[in-house]
Structure formats: structure tokens, C-alpha cells
Amino acid sequence: MAGITKRRLQSLRRRDFLTGAALIDGQWVTRDEKDVVVDPATEEHIAEVSRYSATDVSHAIAAAERALCSWRELLPATRGAILRCWARLMLDHSDDLAVLVTSEQGKPLSEARHEIAYGAGFLDWFAAEGERAYGETIPSHKLGSLLHVRMQPIGVAAAITPWNFPVAMVTRKAGAALAAGCPIIVKPAPETPLSALAVARLAEEAGVPSGVFQVLVGDPIELSTPLLSDTRIRALSFTGSTQVGRLLLEGSAATVKKVSLELGGHAPFLVFDDVDLGKAVKGLMAAKFATSGQDCLAANRIYVQRRIYDAFVDSFAGAIAKLKVGHGLDAATDIGPMTKLSVANKCRAQIDDAAAKGARVFSSKQGDELGANFVAPTLLSDVTEDMLIGHEETFGPVAAVLPFDSEEEVIARANTNEMGLAGYVYTDNLRRALRLSEQLECGMIGVNTASFTGPPIPFGGWKQSGLGREGSRHGLAEYMELKYVCFGDLTG
Ligand code: NAD
């Protein structure tokens, strides 16, 4: 695998995607201090990016504040036209962007291409939704008065984005902010800066004005400290771990920002004994192994009703055995490396812990020889909630299967966890499906499907999985304030 990524990057159509410069106040600026970007599959250095400072963030905030007035005063349709152009440019450069994503994140190239289309979709969708930020007229409770509620842009926003979807998490936040009339400053994950910087190049080419979309890369604490403390940042959107989400929520308290958090998951995947086994296994393969398992929607606790338990485990193990582990740029690869060694180590620790506590382990053993960031797709059966994998998020290609007997029992077990992002229910019984969709404590539920995300849906979690929503009209509202206006004395 050595050298494969560098060779592929050298053949990019857009060589400027690799300059490692950031867009601050309409200028592409570089710094002497650099950070290296690493291919997680080979651990080779593949690029360098400038490291920006807290002072650079302050300049970016000042530029965003200056840009706010003219951006929010544009017609929503004008802002929408710019967002649509940005989306089109992303699709035009999909091949190059996908290579960047795979090079620094590790996911298979086909999934990276899908991410670019998914990410561009948010820009397109919010382009239209910005035109529908309707207010309300309230029937008055006062004689001779008219009561209006308007939706207005909240001000400058900041986004801290993760490495698992280094393009789509940027555009999901930026699409909503820009459509609402708010400039946004993005701090991407240090592991995946190239994708976000490339998206910024396309934003500029699409006509996003100076200061309206800025991306700064560098040390997470140095860059986020001024974003948190500055009163001019009115909204903060974060996707990442619950642990960091808590810190950012605390850090936003002093300036009372509007905070939206999309945090970890620990999705229950419930399979009842009336289902078509083949369909359930197919859905589970997608829900577990997309993005090599590094997905907050990933099925983490697979509850299977006892009557079909053994047959289900056999069929699932058969499907897992077919997964091909390798470099994301190899077209045959289904499972790439973990982006971070800490994530791979967490997978290994969960496997060891489960094995020690009595789980049965089926591993394809593939990938073990490829390097420390690779984790072989692994099935753990007879898992219990006291095992690490039974109560904490995995974020890798390790699947935990637990038997259950009754509906009441499995609902209680699924709901005991503090995470409540996504849940999945596979059953042919309509009444049961309705009951479960009502009773599971999650923000999103797929009934007989593992594929439900996209721009129109309110993406977000209950409990410690987050606050607020992304995508959908609710996502736009995260960047808007309500203003109530009472027109009195109309009879005079
Ligand atoms: P993380 O929460 O540390 O990183 C996410 C983002 O937060 C990155 O941009 C990072 O630079 C930034 N960040 C980290 N520490 C910060 C701090 N103190 N102040 C400000 N910003 C900070 O996530 P991780 O450690 O890279 O991954 C750990 C676990 O988090 C994963 O195993 C997974 O469980 C979860 N995670 C979830 C998602 C998701 O989509 N919800 C994405 C990434 C990670």
C-alpha cells in the first residue's frame, strides 16, 4: 500500500486543494508553522497544512462580523443561488474531493463519493429552505393590535466538525447558517483538514463573499477558546464526542450562545422473530459497517429475538466474512482503516473485554497484518450489557449481538443507555412497529430500514446524544432568532 495515496494525490485535477492554506477574510493565507496530514492506512505523511492561531481566529471573527450586515440583507433567493452554485461545484469536483476524503479519513472511495453528494445535498436543500423561513401572525389577545413573529439571523456562527464525515458535516452546518443569513467559521478535525479547506476553495468560487465562510485548522483548544469566549459568536454547532460536547456547552455558558450538539450514539438494532432474516441482515450490514463502523448512527447493540437468534448469528457471520479490508483507494475495499489509532484501540479493548466476560468471538482476522489502525470485522455474540461494548459506543467494525425474549424486556434494555441518537426496528408486525417507534428513546428511528438520513430530516439525538437538530427546517432554526413584534393602537 505504500505510496498509493501520494501518487493519487499527485494526479488531482485541483492541485490547489493541497496547498494547506486557509481562507481568512477573503485571503488565502499560510503560516510558517505546519501540521502534517497522515494517511491512516499507511501512516505516511501525505501533506502539510498551515497551523493557525487564536489571533487568526480573532481576525476571522472580525471579518465575519463585518460581512454579517450585507450577507443577512441579501434576498434569500440570492443567497440560495450562491449555495446552489457551491453545491454544483462540489459535484463537478467530486472525484478530487472524494480522493481527499479517502486519503485523510480512510473510508472506501465509493463511500467518499457518496459523502460528497450527500454533503452537496445540504447546500442545495438549504438554498431553498432559506426562502421558507416563515414567521407567524398570531391572533391578537389585545384589541386593536397586530402580533407578528419574525425569524431573523442570529449573527456569526462557529462550527467544530469531526473527522468521520469531513465534508458533509461542514456543509450540513454551513448550508443552514448561510441560508439563514449567518456567516460561519469552521474548525475541522486536525485529522482531516484538507477536505474542509478544499470545500472553502469551492465556496469562494461559488461567490460566497469574503468573511462569510472561513475555515481555520490547528490545535483544537487554541482555536476553540476564542470561538467560545467571543461575544460576537452567537451560535455554536458541534459534532463529535459527548465528552467534548459537554466541555463546549460549559464553555458557551459565559456568553450564552445558542448551542447545537450532535454527539455520540449507541444505537439499538432490534430484530424480532417475524422478520425476513435476509432483509434484516442486509440492513444490519449497512447500519453497522458503513464508514467502517465510524458512524454515530452505527448499530451498536444488536438485540435478536431468541427463536431466530442462532440462525441470525450464522447468517450475519457469513456476511461479515465476505467483507474485504484494505486501503480505501483500492476499489475492492469494504472496510478501511480507523482514522485514529485511539479508535482502533478502543475496538480492540472492547473485543478483549467481551471475550474475557464470556462473549463468543467471530473475527474475519483480515487486516491484522495491515497496520495498527486496521480492525478486522468482528462479531461478538452472547454479549451482555455489563460488557464494555454493551454500554459504550464502539465506532468501529465490531458488532455486538445480544439475545432477548420479549418486547417489553427489549424496550427497557434499549432505553437504559444514556445515549439516544438512532434506533432500528425490524419487524413485520405493524402494531409492534408503531409501539416501538413511540417508546424508544432516540431522536431517529428506522423501521425496517437502515437508510434514513438526508437533508430533509431532523438529524439529532435525545438524552446525552445531543441538543438541537441539523438538516430540515429545524436545522435552519438553530441559526435564527425569533422576534415578536406587537403593533398596537391600530384604531387611532
Ligand atoms: P472529538 O470529540 O475529540 O473530536 C471532534 C471535534 O472536536 C474535532 O474537531 C476535534 O478537534 C474537536 N475537539 C476535540 N477536543 C476539543 C476541545 N477540548 N475543545 C474544542 N474542540 C475539541 O472526537 P474524537 O476523540 O476524535 O473521537 C472520539 C469518539 O467521539 C469517537 O470514538 C466517537 O465515539 C465520537 N465521535 C462521534 C462523532 C459523531 O459523528 N457524532 C464524530 C467523531 C467522533
430-442, pLDDT tens digit by residue? 999 999 999 999 9
pLDDT tier at 491 (50, 70, 90 boundaries)? Answer: confident
At 318-328, the pLDDT tens digits run 999 999 999 99
Please tell me the distance between residue 307's alpha carbon and the centre of ligand 1 in angstroms: 39
- List where CATH 3.40.309.10 sits in the chain: 267-454
pLDDT tier at 365 (50, 70, 90 boundaries)? Answer: confident
Query: Three-state secondary structure along 413-430?
Result: HHHCCCEECEEEEECCCH
Contacts of 162 (CB under 8 A, 6+ apart): 169, 189, 239, 240
At 60-119, the pLDDT tens digits run 999 999 999 999 999 999 999 999 999 999 999 999 999 999 999 999 999 999 999 999
The closest residue, in CA terms, to atom 9 on ligand 1 is: 189
User: Ligand 1 site: residues with CB under 6 angstroms?
Assistant: 160-162, 164, 189-190, 220-221, 224, 239-241, 244, 247, 262-264, 296, 340, 343, 393, 395
CATH architecture label of 267-454? 3-Layer(aba) Sandwich (3.40)
Q: What is the pLDDT of residue 2?
A: 79
The closest residue, in CA terms, to atom 12 on ligand 1 is: 220
pLDDT tier at 277 (50, 70, 90 boundaries)? Answer: very high
The answer to whether 212 and 175 have CB atoms below 8 angstroms apart is no
The closest residue, in CA terms, to atom 39 on ligand 1 is: 240
Q: CATH classification of 4-263+466-482, choosing from 3.40.605.10, 3.30.1490.20, 2.40.110.10, 1.10.10.60?
A: 3.40.605.10
The answer to whether 101 and 117 have CB atoms below 8 angstroms apart is no
Active site residues: 262, 296
Residue 32 has pLDDT above 80, yes or no: yes
Please tell me the distance between residue 121's alpha carbon and the centre of ligand 1 in angstroms: 24
At 227-252, the pLDDT tens digits run 999 999 999 999 999 999 999 999 99
Testing ligand 1's pocket by substitution, the residue of 52, 229, 241 carrying the most ligand atoms inside 8 A of its CB is 241
- List where CATH 3.40.605.10 sits in the chain: 4-263+466-482
Ligand 1 closest atom vs CA 244: 2
Residue 281 has pLDDT above 80, yes or no: yes
Q: What is the pLDDT of residue 368?
A: 79
Residue 492 has pLDDT above 80, yes or no: no
Please tell me the distance between residue 162's alpha carbon and the centre of ligand 1 in angstroms: 6
Please tell me the distance between residue 243's alpha carbon and the centre of ligand 1 in angstroms: 8
C-alpha 363/C-alpha 481 separation (Å) is: 51
Ligand 1 closest atom vs CA 161: 9
